[in-house]
């Protein structure tokens, strides 16, 4: 039995176990309308850190156009309406047919077309990445190097020209971010504002998003508010950094409460959250990513729900799979996180099957 069939069989077995015990499991939850559900996720064609993506990179490379469609459908059926594409290029190659760099040798000739077409069909709004046209590990160079900036703009022009007609092309995601230390630095403001100018030129009316890290280090004071006022961005989905062990579940509320007040005062950028639903198999940043236990994820959701407009996750790909999925990518325990979340969501919606 090949790996994909084995994983699918495992998924069906797990699904049967959950369906048998679903009423009992769901009864453990109490409906709490104060907790916001997950409305979106990051999305990728290949995880840029090969070790972290151990359990899903090989599967994604083999995805057919139909499997990409099924994965988008699966995410939509989980109640999510936003997807944030991490990158359109990586390490000198693209995930779509390009005149600027060679394409990754995937089974699907054009994964970007596949997922945007599927998103059109299932009502998903995509924030499409405008990078990584350089080495993602050298963030500063990616943000200030003039040659990379020229290549990035050409890439945005190419992507908008090829895919801008899709109704699911909701806006852009700018993935190059420095960690915020105290306040938003000038390099970030210059990079984001330059990207926003080009984005609005190419897709008028687009909605653009960034996801800063370093959330716990932010000093929310007058200086931060002034910098926030200068930042030309529509949505900021701050990372809660629980998965990378920089914060603990249940402790981030104080950071988001302060950010809520800052954004309200600045009158700039809607406040969303990017919660991390992964854990590391062994050492942080140096081992494979695994799905977190839902108890931890639920605590993360509960903690910050009062302060953010929407909750996104990093990420559905690899961390969640519907049991028996024909587009399975990730560790077998990803079906557990999926089923636990869906059972909770059923209780929230008062639809206990």
Structure confidence at residue 353 (pLDDT): 46
Cα separation, 268 vs 177, in Å, equals 18
Structure confidence at residue 25 (pLDDT): 43
Tens-digit pLDDT profile for residues 56-67: 999 999 999 999
Q: Is 284 exposed, middle or buried (0-12, 13-18, 19+ CB in 10 A)?
A: exposed
Residue 239 CB partners (closer than 8 Å, separation 6+)? 211, 212, 213, 215, 274, 275, 276, 314
3-class secondary structure, 245? coil
For residue 53, count other CB atoms closer than 10 A to its CB: 21
Report whether CATH 3.60.20.10 matches the domain 3-25+36-348.
no
Structure confidence at residue 9 (pLDDT): 41
Structure tokens at 104: 């990754």
Whether the per-residue pLDDT at 73 is higher than 90: the answer is yes
Range 277-302 average pLDDT:
98
Q: What is the mean pLDDT of the chain?
A: 91
Question: Phi/psi of residue 94, each to 5°?
Answer: -110, 165
Specify the pairing of strand 311-314 against strand 270-276. parallel
Tens-digit pLDDT profile for residues 181-226: 899 999 999 999 999 999 999 999 999 999 999 999 999 999 999 9
Tens-digit pLDDT profile for residues 34-44: 999 999 999 99
Structure confidence at residue 79 (pLDDT): 97
Band of pLDDT at residue 351, cut at 50, 70 and 90: low
Structure confidence at residue 20 (pLDDT): 40
Structure confidence at residue 179 (pLDDT): 72
Cα separation, 41 vs 82, in Å, equals 6
Residue 142 CB partners (closer than 8 Å, separation 6+)? 131, 132, 133, 134, 135, 136, 148, 176
The residue ranges of DSSP E strands in 196-314, in sequence order, are 209-210, 235-239, 270-276, 278-280, 289-291, 311-314
């Amino acid at each position: 039995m090949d790996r994909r069939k084995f994983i699918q069989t495992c998924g069906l077995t797990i699904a049967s176990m959950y369906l048998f015990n679903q009423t009992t499991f769901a009864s453990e939850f109490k409906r709490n309308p104060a907790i916001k559900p997950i409305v979106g996720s990051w999305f990728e064609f290949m995880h840029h850190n090969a070790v972290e993506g151990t359990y899903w990179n090989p599967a994604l490379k083999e995805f057919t156009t139909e499997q990409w469609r099924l994965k988008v459908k699966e995410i939509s059926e989980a109640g999510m309406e936003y997807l944030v594409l991490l990158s359109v290029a990586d390490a000198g190659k693209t995930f779509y047919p390009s005149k600027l760099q060679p394409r990754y040798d995937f089974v699907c000739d054009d994964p970007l077309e596949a997922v945007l077409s599927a998103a059109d069909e299932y009502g998903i709004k995509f924030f499409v990445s405008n990078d990584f046209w350089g080495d993602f590990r050298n963030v500063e160079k990616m943000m200030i190097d003039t040659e990379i900036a020229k290549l990035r703009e050409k890439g945005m022009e190419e992507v908008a020209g090829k895919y801008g007609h899709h109704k699911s092309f909701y806006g852009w995601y700018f993935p190059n971010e420095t960690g915020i230390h105290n306040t938003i630095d000038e390099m970030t403001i210059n990079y984001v504002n330059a990207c926003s100018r080009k984005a609005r030129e190419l897709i008028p009316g687009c909605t653009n998003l960034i996801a800063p890290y370093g959330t716990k280090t932010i000093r929310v004071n007058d200086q931060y508010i002034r910098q926030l006022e200068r930042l030309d961005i529509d949505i900021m989905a701050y990372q809660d950094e629980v998965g990378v062990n920089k914060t603990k579940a249940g402790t981030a509320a104080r950071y988001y409460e302060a950010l809520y007040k800052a954004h309200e005062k600045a009158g700039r950028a809607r406040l969303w959250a990017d919660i991390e639903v992964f854990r590391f198999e062994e050492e942080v940043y140096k081992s494979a990513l695994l799905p977190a236990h839902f108890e931890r994820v639920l605590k993360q959701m509960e903690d910050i729900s009062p302060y953010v407009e929407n909750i996104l996750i990093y990420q559905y790909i690899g961390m969640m799979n519907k049991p028996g999925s024909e587009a399975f990518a990730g560790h077998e325990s990803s079906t557990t996180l999926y089923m636990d979340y869906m059972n909770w969501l059923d209780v929230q919606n008062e639809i206990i099957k």
